[in-house]
Amino acid sequence: MALTVKAIAESINIMGTRSGSAMKDRIKGPVEEMAKEETAAGGTYLDLNIGPARKDGTELMPWVVETVQDVVDTPLCLDSTNTDAMAAGFQVVKNKDAAIMNSISAQPERMEKLIPVAAEAGCNVIALLWGPDGMPRDSNERAAMSVDLMMALNDAGIPNEKILFDPIGTPITLGADQIASGLEFMMMLADIAPGSGSTVGLSNVSNGVAEHLRKYLDRTYLIMLMKYGISTAIVNSYDKELMAICNGERQDLVDLVHAMMDGNDPDPSTLAGSAIEHYKTYKALSGATIFSESWLEL
Ligand code: THG
């Protein structure tokens, strides 16, 4: 059976060129169109990212939720650091049981404010492994944070089956070690929180890399995460190759990268096309070759 990953489509975003200005000016058309496009592309969930929205979040989030719900039934993933906006958004979500709160981090004030909102809504929750001191430094810090979050969520009546842990993908420009520690945590997750799911914002890995090269990193990184059973991923649903990987339609590439992760390298002279792209990109992401923007040409 082919491995599959549920796609959380990321493009309805306050930073996006099409969706950002539409959201700020409350113009429904572009948001409606993108919701339909991302659904047609195979998004299992639609991420609605309004950013910090300090001024008008409690009004903007419900507006985006209702705009999208008017045109598609796709489950929603509400994405904001504004806890009041999150609560206001969930007030109007129709299918709360299928929806996702993105996210609750391991910061006490966010846990205090948002856990009751999630428990009341009965929604799924992304548990973001970002603590009071920021980014975790290794897999042990991720493990400690995930236990804190799991216990607090379970105490509020939210079972592991409703939790998606996000170990936070780190940019390749920060080094392959950081990527490895996120993967190491993914390997530990089934023992730490049995029954839980997981997610990663794939494009974090290619943050700061030239635009035309980013998709190669995001695709191979997804395949690496699939080895440890990642259940969902935050993706650009307009990338057809990436969606094909999510849908279990590139098992040959999955087999190639997973074999390399087990230490079984193919002879690169036998590879062509997307196989050689994934081969080279895996070498960069695993730290076997030093990362530079010419990694595909090596
Ligand atoms: N984990 C969790 N949630 C997250 C992230 C994460 N939410 C936000 C982010 N990371 C994932 N969402 C996006 C959305 C868009 C882009 C990247 C990540 C993006 N957009 C285009 C760009 O910058 O090139 C803009 C496209 C446009 O102009 O329209 O890359 O890690 N839990």
Number of domains forming the structure of the chain: 1
263: in domain = no
Q: Each residue of 215-247: b (16+ CB within 10 Å) or e?
A: bbbbbbbbbbbbbbebebbbbbbebebbbebbe
Give yes or no for residue 298 having a pLDDT over 80: no
Residue nearest to atom 23 of ligand 1 (CA): 16
290: in domain = no
pLDDT for the residue 25: 97
268: in domain = no
Average pLDDT (269-297) is: 94
193: in domain = yes
pLDDT tens profile 224-246? 999 999 999 999 999 999 999 99
Residue tagged 């995460």 (tokens): 225
- How large a percentage of the chain has pLDDT more than 90? 97
- The CB of 182 under 6 Å from ligand 1? The reply is no
Residue 145 structure tokens: 């944070």
Q: In this structure, are residues 76 and 100 in contact, taking their beta carbons and an 8 Å threshold?
A: yes
Supply the DSSP symbol for 12: E
Residue nearest to atom 17 of ligand 1 (CA): 203
Domain at 156, CATH number: 3.20.20.20
267: in domain = no
Residue 222 structure tokens: 């997804």
pLDDT tens profile 79-117? 999 999 999 999 999 999 999 999 999 999 999 999 999
276: in domain = no
Give yes or no for residue 133 having a pLDDT over 80: yes
- The CB of 197 under 6 Å from ligand 1? The reply is no
Q: In this structure, are residues 194 and 229 in contact, taking their beta carbons and an 8 Å threshold?
A: no
- How large a percentage of the chain has pLDDT more than 70? 100
Grade residue 134 by pLDDT with cuts at 50, 70 and 90: very high
pLDDT for the residue 264: 97
Mutate to test the pocket of ligand 1, among 11, 24, 198, 203 (most ligand atoms within 8 A of CB): 203
Range of the domain at 146: 6-249
Q: What is the mean pLDDT of the chain?
A: 97
Residue nearest to atom 31 of ligand 1 (CA): 201
Grade residue 297 by pLDDT with cuts at 50, 70 and 90: confident
Average pLDDT (263-274) is: 96
Average pLDDT (5-32) is: 98
Least confident range of 75-79, 118-122, 185-189, 290-294: 290-294
Q: Is the dihedral of CA 190, 193, 196, 200 positive or negative?
A: negative
Mutate to test the pocket of ligand 1, among 8, 10, 135 (most ligand atoms within 8 A of CB): 10
Q: Which atom of ligand 1 is nearest to the CA of 166?
A: 32
Give yes or no for residue 201 having a pLDDT over 90: yes
Q: Is the pTM of this model over 0.95?
A: yes
Q: Would you put residue 273 in left (φ > 0), alpha (ψ -120 to 50) or beta? A: left
Supply the DSSP symbol for 126: E
Question: What whole-number distance in Å separates Cα of residue 202 and Cα of residue 215?
Answer: 9
175: in domain = yes
270: in domain = no
